[in-house]
């Protein structure tokens, strides 16, 4: 099928490449010439395992190409994915849908100009994360302007950074929002989506067809629930620390309860990245708009607990440095918000490094892939991609991203490199007993003064 993808950021570039790999003829559209030029060379402007290979493959077969011309998208096919970003509004917490509105309006104008009177309708499939009510608003506006020329549906994405390619091919579920479920128009839209997603559906991935509001809420509700689990275990971690308990053992025991599950119960620095923080805040803002104040308050607390983890680790670092971080050499292992990514947006690791730098510490940041983004965001921070070099001469080590390059470090060899064998395991990811046995003063959030149960 001929498909277009408007917006070639993290979501759009991945979606376009994966659709081409499945045999579709895909044209990606973006307003940034630099991004388009880079993608047309087979390189993404961000790190995502396996994506560059898919770009090269798609370009070589001719099933994938990128352009800045929205008119080319209008002429290319009749199914158009909208994958532009929805950041937080400046000075607020609500999601900004300005880029979505602009992308839809520009594409619609070109489609209207390209399709003769009485010609076939085109389908817009929104994938961007939007406040509930957006799809209905866009559908009404397009109907007023163009009649039934443009159909609208909403199919939220559920990609995890570092796993986006696999998640594109085999998502946990596909949720499709349509204006009137069960209508002939909805059935036609669902049939097109089934054709596009035939490979995943054939492998048993479920398709849920629902109304616009439900589809829009699924993504933000899922992220809010995950964020709540993360903030919950971190709040419980504070109790564990005060009581002399071990949050890592407690979390493992909780995760064995099938009603709870282990995913998201990793205590430590909390969540970051381009999705969870802004989605939680955006959902809270929209809940407040709709008068659902208790949910807005709950999500506000979830966000506050999460951001407070950064201050907690900075406080632990200051204590480890006798309350005087100025001039002290600190190595922060990690800058990306999670392993497998070079994304430093809302990164707890980078927030800790920057906070210690502001307090006068001589900070070295080590990350296997994110040194470039760090230099762009915080040019004053010293970066070193090799852990052994970053550790040399450090008086304090903070593990802030659980890259395997850090979790598998030899604590004996590491102790020989540092000036002070003090480590704050901000992700509770190190084998604590082995580090203590190697002579390290091991500290971790959520682990009390009695470490006997820590493995």
Instruction: Kindly state whether residues 158 and 230 are assigned to the same domain.
Output: no
Q: Tell whether 293 is covered by a domain.
A: no
258 and 354 housed in the same domain: yes
Given a contact cutoff of 8 angstroms between Cβ atoms, the answer to whether 362 and 329 are in contact is yes
Q: How far is residue 411's CA from residue 421's CA, in Å, rounded to a whole number? A: 9
Say whether both 333 and 437 belong to one domain: yes
**38 found inside a domain:** yes
Distance CA 108, CA 104 (A): 6
Listed residues 177, 205, 233: the one ending a domain: 205
Give the pairing of strands 122-126 and 396-399. unpaired
Binned average pLDDT, 10 residues per bin, the chain of 455 residues: 96 98 98 97 95 98 97 96 94 93 97 88 96 97 95 96 95 97 96 97 98 97 96 96 94 96 93 94 96 97 96 96 97 96 96 97 96 93 95 98 97 97 97 96 85 46
| Residue finishing a domain among 205, 235, 261 | 205
| 312: three-class secondary structure by DSSP | helix
Same domain? For 316 and 427 the reply is: yes
The parent domain of residue 269 ranges over 221-273+307-443
With respect to residue 294, please indicate whether it lies within any of the assigned structural domains.
no
- Alpha carbon distance 196, 4 (integer Å): 12
Region of residue 84 (phi > 0: left; psi between -120 and 50: alpha; otherwise: beta): beta
Number of domains in the chain: 2
**Whole-number pLDDT of residue 72:** 96
- Closest residue by Cα to residue 339 from 83, 89, 160: 160
pLDDT at position 15 is 98
To the query of whether residue 155 is one of the catalytic residues in this protein, the response is no
pLDDT of the residue at 168: 97
> What pLDDT is recorded for position 116?
85
Residue whose tokens read 């909403």: 154
- This prediction has a pTM of 0.91
The domain that holds 160 is classified in CATH as 3.40.50.720
- Regarding whether 85 and 11 lie in a shared domain, the answer is yes
pLDDT for 450: 54
Q: 285: phi > 0 → left, psi -120 to 50 → alpha, else beta; which?
A: alpha
Q: Is residue 198 domain-shared with residue 336, that is, in the same domain?
A: no
106 and 157 together in one domain: yes
Which of 155, 197, 275, 429 is labelled catalytic?
275
Instruction: Judge if 246 and 359 occupy the same domain.
Output: yes
Same domain, 236 and 188: no
Structural Rg of the chain based on CA atoms: 24
With beta carbons less than 8 A apart as the criterion, state whether 181 and 241 touch: no
Provide the pLDDT for residue 260. 96
Phi-psi region of 50 (alpha: psi -120 to 50; beta: other; left: phi over 0): left
Domain check: are 103 and 179 in the same one? Answer: yes
Co-location of 253 and 396 in the same domain = yes
Query: Residue 454's pLDDT is what?
Result: 42
Give domain status of residue 17, yes or no.
yes
Q: Is 249 found in the same domain as 158? A: no
Determine, yes or no, domain membership for 214. Answer: no
């Amino acid at each position: 099928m001929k498909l277009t993808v408007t917006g070639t950021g993290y979501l759009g570039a991945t979606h376009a490449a994966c659709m081409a790999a499945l045999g579709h003829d895909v044209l990606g559209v973006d307003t940034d010439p630099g991004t388009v030029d880079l993608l047309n060379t087979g390189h993404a402007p961000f790190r995502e395992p396996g994506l560059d290979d898919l770009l090269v493959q798609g370009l070589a077969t001719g099933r994938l190409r990128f352009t800045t011309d929205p008119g080319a998208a209008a002429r290319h096919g009749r199914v158009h994915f909208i994958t532009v970003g929805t950041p937080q509004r400046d000075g607020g917490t609500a999601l900004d849908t300005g880029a979505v509105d602009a992308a839809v309006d520009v594409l619609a104008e070109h489609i209207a100009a390209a399709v003769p009177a009485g010609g076939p309708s085109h389908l817009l499939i929104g994938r961007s994360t939007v406040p509930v009510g957006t799809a209905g608003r866009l559908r009404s506006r397009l109907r007023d302007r163009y009649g039934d020329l443009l159909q609208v549906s909403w199919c939220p994405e559920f990609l995890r950074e570092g796993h986006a390619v696999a998640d594109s091919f085999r998502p946990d579920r596909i949720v499709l929002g349509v204006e009137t479920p069960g209508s002939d128009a909805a059935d036609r839209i669902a049939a097109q989506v089934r054709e596009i997603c035939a490979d995943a559906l054939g492998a048993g991935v479920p398709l849920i067809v629902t109304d616009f509001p439900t589809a829009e809420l699924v993504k933000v509700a899922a992220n809010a629930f995950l964020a709540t689990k993360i903030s919950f275990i971190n709040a419980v971690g504070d109790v564990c620390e005060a009581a002399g308990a071990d949050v890592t053992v407690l979390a493992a025991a909780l995760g064995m309860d099938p009603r709870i599950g282990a995913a998201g119960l990793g205590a430590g620095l909390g969540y970051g990245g381009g999705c969870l923080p802004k989605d939680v805040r955006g959902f809270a803002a929209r809940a407040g708009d709709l008068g659902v104040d208790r949910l807005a308050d709950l999500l506000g607390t979830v966000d506050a607990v999460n951001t407070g983890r950064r201050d907690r680790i900075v406080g632990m670092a200051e204590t480890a440095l006798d309350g005087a971080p100025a001039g002290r050499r600190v190595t922060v292992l990690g800058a990306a918000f999670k392993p497998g990514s070079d994304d430093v947006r809302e990164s707890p690791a980078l927030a800790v490094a920057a906070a210690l730098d502001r307090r006068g510490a001589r900070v070295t940041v080590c990350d296997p892939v994110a040194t470039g983004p760090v230099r762009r965001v915080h040019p004053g921070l010293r970066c070193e991609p090799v852990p052994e070099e970053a550790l040399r001469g450090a008086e304090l080590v903070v593990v802030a991203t659980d890259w395997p390059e850090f979790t598998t470090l030899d604590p004996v060899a590491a102790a020989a490199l540092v000036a002070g064998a003090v480590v704050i395991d901000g992700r509770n990811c190190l084998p604590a007993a082995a580090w203590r046995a190697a002579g390290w003063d091991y500290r971790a959030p959520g682990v009390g003064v009695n470490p006997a149960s820590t493995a």
